[in-house]
Structure 1
């Protein structure tokens, strides 16, 4: 029993080190008046992002996602961002109509192996640019947004799943909150 606890502790330290040692930092959100009305939203992913379906504890890849059935991962992630934008529109509805461009840099969730044992974090990194709606005028130039969502492991992950808090539900809610925070 103690051996298992030591192995899990070492694994968690390794996972934490991998996330914090990436060297990916966000760009500070500029202080300014944001009276935005979200009108348009576009999603793209950087060219050449690596995708992993490996069930190791921490695959070396830009994209790791298990909240949807196996399939094209970037379109699955795009759908969550689109849903987050749709949920944000009624909340971000002020005077200045804007279009938002998101370019995915990293979306590293947890593998099933990690999720059903130690847990980890969902690490999301994207570049965000805000334009005046319908124009090329940049209101806020591209800035890097980096944030993490806790990914419970073991029994807690199972209980969340049973209560309807699937990975997809939790991550879509997280993306909605993250997007709103950037626009208000």
Structure 2
């Protein structure tokens, strides 16, 4: 056989081998090459019951400092049992946040508060700050006890007005209690109606509330 024929035969053999490799690679391609941009469906829930736990192991502070140490700092009501007051706020928030729901699946909601650090008098009447609120939320199928979502740690921080802005907010009925209650209602609503649940803003702090009910006009917050 001539040298030219030998070279031609080698070229044909290599070409066939390459085609076989490409074909094998395409047939063995991993499933993650399939487009995955399909959005998950939103849940369809209806609230059957709920439980809110505010552990007494959380430390309450009544110190009138700009940022006192403690897990629970609450001055939006007269001095009393802060654990009960915080629980009542969450109870009302859940009722507001789930009142519009009429989904196909009944669920039970469990919330454990891990932090409720609102503004002191000193901060509210001067510089303002952040209502730092954290809790763990679990959504449960009540018959089987199966966990549908969670336990999910949630940081639901909200801008707290100070100085003149705080006075203007109070005049419009936007008290600390009202704003926090409505904000938490929206957080709970998102957890029960959106596929991804509540997603905190990029900066981690919500600037303005979006009331579920009753409607109210927010004071323009400084960015």
Structure 1 stretches of 5 or more lacking a match? 1-30
**Match among 56, 62, 72 for residue 53 of structure 1:** 62
SS of equivalent to 2:84: helix
Match of 2:172 in 1: 163
Q: Which runs of 4+ in 1 moved over 6 A?
A: none
1:62 aligns with 2:71: yes
Q: TM-score, normalised by structure 1?
A: 0.80
Aligned partners of 1:146, 1:139: CA distance in 2, in Å?
20
Deviation of residue 135 (structure 1)?
Answer: 3.9
Larger RCO (CA within 8 A; separation ≥ 6): 1
Q: Paired residues, what number?
A: 154
1:151 aligns with 2:160: yes
Contact 2:131 2:157 in 1 (8 A): yes
Match of 1:142 in 2: 151
Q: Deviation per CA, 1:62-107, whole angstroms, max 9, x where unpaired?
A: 0001111101111111111111111122222200100000000000
Which structure: greater strand fraction?
1
Match of 1:72 in 2: 81
SS of equivalent to 2:156: strand
Contact 1:39 1:89 in 2 (8 A): no
Deviation of residue 46 (structure 1)?
Answer: 3.5
Structure 2 stretches of 5 or more lacking a match? 1-39, 194-223
Deviation of residue 132 (structure 1)?
Answer: 0.7
